[in-house]
Amino acid sequence: MPFKAGISGNPTGKKPGTQNKTTRELKAHIQQIVELELSKLPEILNSLPAKDRVQLLAKLIDYVLPKFQPDWSSQYDTECFIIKSKERPNDG
C-alpha cells in the first residue's frame, strides 16, 4: 500500500463544488444542444397552430418569469375577502 491509512496522496484534496471532468463535459454538451434547439424555437412556434403555440408558451413561461404571489396581507384587510355562504332554506 503506497499511502498510510487515512492519509491521501493529496492532503489538500479537491475543493468543494469542483466538478469532475465527465460532469463538466456532459453539461457543456447539454448546453450546446439546448442552445441549438432554442435558436430553432421561433421557427417551431410559427409552424404550430395557434392553440398549440399558446399551450407551449404557457408551459415555457414558468422557466422565464417568477410565479406571481400577491401579498394580500400588506395591502388589504383580509377580512373583506371572507365570503359567507348563504344559509340553506329548510326543507319544509
User: In residues, how long is the chain?
Assistant: 92
**Under the phi-then-psi rule, with left for phi > 0, alpha for psi from -120 to 50, and beta for the rest, what region is 84?**
beta
3 state SS of 12: coil
Contact in structure between 81 and 72 (CB atoms under 8 Å): yes
Q: Give the residue extent of every domain in the chain.
A: 21-68
Q: Model confidence over 51-66: pLDDT tens digits? A: 999 999 999 898 888 8
> Phi, psi at residue 36, to the nearest 5°?
-65, -45
For residue 90, what is its C-alpha cell? 329548510
Top mean pLDDT of 12-16, 59-63, 65-69 is at 59-63
**Residue, of 5 and 79, whose pLDDT is higher:** 5
Indicate whether 14 pLDDT > 90: no
